[in-house]
Structure formats: structure tokens, C-alpha cells
Structure 1
Amino acid sequence: MEIVQDILIIVLAGLMMVDENGPVIISWFPVIVGMIVGIIMGDMQTALAVAGTFQLMMLGVAALGGASAPNYGLATIIGGFVAIRTGTGINSAVAIGIPVGLLAIQLEVVARIICNFLAHYMVRLVREKKFMKMRKIAILGPTLFFLQTALPTVIVVVAGPIVVKQLLKIIPAWVTDGLTVAGGMLPVVGIALLMHYMPVKKFLPFIIASFVLAAYVKVPLLGIALIGFAASYWYFFQETKKGSTPAVVGVTNQNEENDDYDE
């Protein structure tokens, strides 16, 4: 069973990157790939806890312009795999997932440089009307992106939980503690950035109500999400009715004017 899980985790890591640069069917967001990791590993609760942590980190760091951000999708896959297989929890997921996510940045640079040369070579083949050869070369692009995330995953999976545990022991405490602190700060920064662009003043009652439900009433996160969905559903239809009312009045007045004109 573990061998099947290992293979599926490696395939998921590779397909995630191909999907990100191609059809975008699965999505590379931590919450999506984390859910799939939970299905593969048979521990949805731990996988989603890890995925939620990395998703909030992703909100706090953006790759703008030429800047690079860690591959949080890969970090989620590796972190979820390690946390579930070793039973060491979220701290180990962050300690292992973030370095692997940072490694993926370097591999991404290498893959994109190679793909740049491949693209120019394919253009030359098209001009020479060598279409069959061009199609064969085109396969190398997705292959490189697949290997970009699959290779680090293979290293972690092949190394096994024992090596990962030994690695966690070798890593100085100040490093793991620092990553844990950063893991706690980045989600806050992510939510702050998210709220900065939201109409907070307009929806402040809903924010206060959700905080009270979570902090004092101890409503589970799923329950708060469902309440939020119900509130947004109600608000949407209320605003839709307001938007449609003037149009109806306008039509009525226009009909009345036409009636007067006919008389």
C-alpha cells in the first residue's frame, strides 16, 4: 500500500506543475493538492491542516515581476506526505516543505532556461516545415516541468520517513523554531493583505460575528464557512433585487408614457 502511495504522490507532484503551466484542470493551490494528498495518504484532517497552513503562507508572499516565491503546492505535497507518514505533525511539514519549495524555485529557473532554447529551436523547425520533429521536441517542455517537481519528491519519498526524521534532528533548533515562527506570521500577513483589498468597513458585522463564533462559541471552521456561504448567498440576492428594481420602474414609467401618447 505504501508503494502505491509513494508512486501517486510523485505523479501528483509532477502533474501539478504540468497542469500549472498548461490546462489548469487540477490547480496548484495548496488546498486543492492538499485534499488530493489526504485522499492518497488516507488522512484528510492532517493533509488539510498542512494545506491550510501553506495556503495562508501563499497569501502572504506573492511572486511579482521577476521575484520568485516558494512552490507552496510542492511544499504542501511534501509536507503533507511527511507529516502523515512520520506522524510528526505540522511543524515537521513546514520544516521540510518550505526548503523543498525553495529548491523548486531553482529547478524552475533551469527548466525555463532550457524551454527558452527549445522554443527557439521549435520556431526554426517550423520555418523549415519539419512539423513532426517539432511536435517531438514540444514534448520535452511538459517533461521538464514534470521533473521539476517530481525529482525533489522522489528524493523525499525514496529517502523515507527514517531519513526525514534524522534530518529533522540534524537541523538546528533555531532553524526549525524560526520556520515555525515564520509559519505562524505569514498566514497573518496573508489575511491582512486579503482584508486590505476587501471592503472591510462594509462587511464589518460579518467579520465580527465570525470572530465571535470562532473564538468564543468554538464553532468549527466548516460551520463558520457554511454560515459565511449562507450570508453571502443572502447578500447576493438582496443586491440583485436592488439592482433590478430601478430597471423595472423605468420600464413601467416608459409604458405609462407610451399609453398617454397613444391616447
Structure 2
Amino acid sequence: MLLYQAFAVGLSLMFTKFTDWYGTLYLSRPLFCVTVLGFLLGKPVEGITMGAALELVYLGTVSLGGVMPQDYGFGAIFGAGFALILDQKISVGIALSIPLSLLGSLLYAVFKVWITSMVTKFEKYAREKNLAAFKRLWWVQFCTYNLMYFAFGFIAILAGSNAVKALVDAIPTWAQNSLTVAAGMLPALGMALLLKTLWTRDLAAYFFIGFALVIFFKGNLISVAFLSLCFAAIVGFNELKHINKPAPATNMGSADESEGFFDE
């Protein structure tokens, strides 16, 4: 059983990092990759719940250029993997995920150093028009990238599940309660980080509308998401209407224009 669980975590981590290879597909977000992991481990409901909780934690975490503050895919897979395998609460998955996401960003940086060192070889093969060697080197780095993450996931679960279980069992009750409180606060922190980048006077009203729907009218997330989709459609169609609206014609040849020389 443990062997299959290790294989499922390794496969999920490899798939998560594979989706990042071809660009920003957002399939490495915890909401998606942890859900996939939950299905592979035979715990789809727990996987969806854990993925949603971790998504809120990393909601404001984005990678800009080559800078990766946290490898949320790496941390989410490992945190959720250990929590799901050991039948632990969401707070345990979050507590394990955050430091592991920092470790993941360090491992990714080390891998990027190796990839960067091969740029000169790629340039050499390109100048020589040696397409076969160029493709061979590309496949070497591609397979190394994916198999490296599969090995991380497989070996960590296979060798570390008992150690993590012993660590979790050794945590006193008061510390576990503190982790539960912290886990409840971290999604709010993720939302705050996202709002810090998106907050404008034009969008503020929508935030308070969603807040009012939940607090005053007892709406759930599905109803708020549905109304948000309607608002987004209204705003989008209005923007398209302004874009497609033809510009007013101007009489460039009129001699008695009253505008000044610097007026537009």
C-alpha cells in the first residue's frame, strides 16, 4: 500500500512540474494538483478540500520572471500527500506545506543552475547546425527534470511517512490547536496578498458586494461565484463595446477650427 502511495505522490509531483515546463498553464496550482493527488490516493473529497485550503494559502503567491518565492506545487503535493496518507487534518497539511514549498524553491534554483550551464552547449550545437545533438540534449534535460521530481516524491513518501507520522504524533495538543488557528488565518493572508496587487477604486465595490452577500444575505461560495461570473460578463461585454465602437470622425481640413495649437 505504501509503495502505491509513494508512486501516486511521485507521479502527481512529476505531473505538477511537467505542466510548468511548457509555460504558465496554472495546472500546478494546489486546487488542481492536490485534487488529482486525492483521486490517485482514493480520497477525492479530502483531496478537493485540502486543495481548496492550500489554494487560499498560496493565492497571492506568483512567480515573476525567474523569481520563485515559494514552489507552491512542490509544497502542496508533499503537505497534502503526508496529510492524506496519515489521515491528518487540513491544518497539518498546511503546516507541512509551507516549509516544504521553500525547500522546493531552493531545489528548483539548483536545477536552474545546471540548466543554465548547458546554454553554451545549446548555442554550440545551434551554430554547428547539429540538430540531432541539440534535440538529444533537450531530451536529457527534459527527462532529468521530470524524473528528478518523481524521485523526490516517491522516495520522500516511501522513506519519510513513518518519520512524519512520529513527528505529528509527538506534537502536543496545544501546539496542534495553534496550528489549526494558524491554518485558518493563512487563507486570509493569501487573500490579502492577492488583494494588495489587484486593489483599485474601480474594483473595490465588487469586493464589498461579495462580502455583503456572504455576511448579510448568508450566501455560499457557489452563489457568490455565480454572481461574480455575471458581473465579470457585464464588465467584459461593456469593455468590448467600447473597444469596437468606431472613433468619431474629425475634419482635419477645416480652416476655422477654434482649438489651440497644442489642443488634441
Give the TM interval when normalised to the shorter protein: 0.7 to 0.9
What percentage of residue pairs aligned between the two structures are identical?
23
Paired letter, 1:163: A
Structure 2 Cα separation of the partners of residues 179 and 140 of structure 1: 42
Indicate the residue corresponding to 1:57 in structure 2: 57
Deviation of 1:72 after TM superposition, in Å, equals: 0.7
Deviation of 1:216 after TM superposition, in Å, equals: 4.5
Instruction: Tell me whether 1:76 sits opposite 2:69 in the alignment.
Output: no
Paired letter, 2:124: R
Give the secondary structure class of the aligned counterpart of 1:139: helix
Paired letter, 2:35: M
Q: Which structure features the higher share of helix residues? A: 1
Q: Which runs of 5+ in 1 are unaligned?
A: 252-263
Q: TM-score normalised to the size of structure 1?
A: 0.75
Q: Which runs of 5+ in 2 are unaligned?
A: 250-264
Taking a change above 3 Å as real, the CA distance of residues 113 and 41 of structure 1, as seen in their structure-2 partners, is: same
Q: TM-score normalised to the size of structure 2?
A: 0.74
Aligned length: 251
For each residue in 1:183-231, what CA deviation from the matched residue of structure 2 results, as whole angstroms up to 9, or x when unmatched? 4444333322333344554344433332233235443322321121123
Structure 1 Cα separation of the partners of residues 175 and 150 of structure 2: 26
Instruction: Tell me whether 1:37 sits opposite 2:37 in the alignment.
Output: yes
> Is the Cα contact below 8 Å between 2:30 and 2:54 reproduced in 1?
yes
Paired letter, 1:132: A
Structure 1 Cα separation of the partners of residues 145 and 15 of structure 2: 9
Taking a change above 3 Å as real, the CA distance of residues 129 and 179 of structure 1, as seen in their structure-2 partners, is: farther
Paired letter, 1:70: Q
Indicate the residue corresponding to 2:257 in structure 1: none
Instruction: Tell me whether 1:215 sits opposite 2:200 in the alignment.
Output: no
> Is the Cα contact below 8 Å between 2:56 and 2:191 reproduced in 1?
yes
Indicate the residue corresponding to 1:99 in structure 2: 99
- Higher RCO, Cα 8 Å, sep 6+: 2
> Is the Cα contact below 8 Å between 1:111 and 1:144 reproduced in 2?
no
Structure 2 Cα separation of the partners of residues 59 and 96 of structure 1: 17
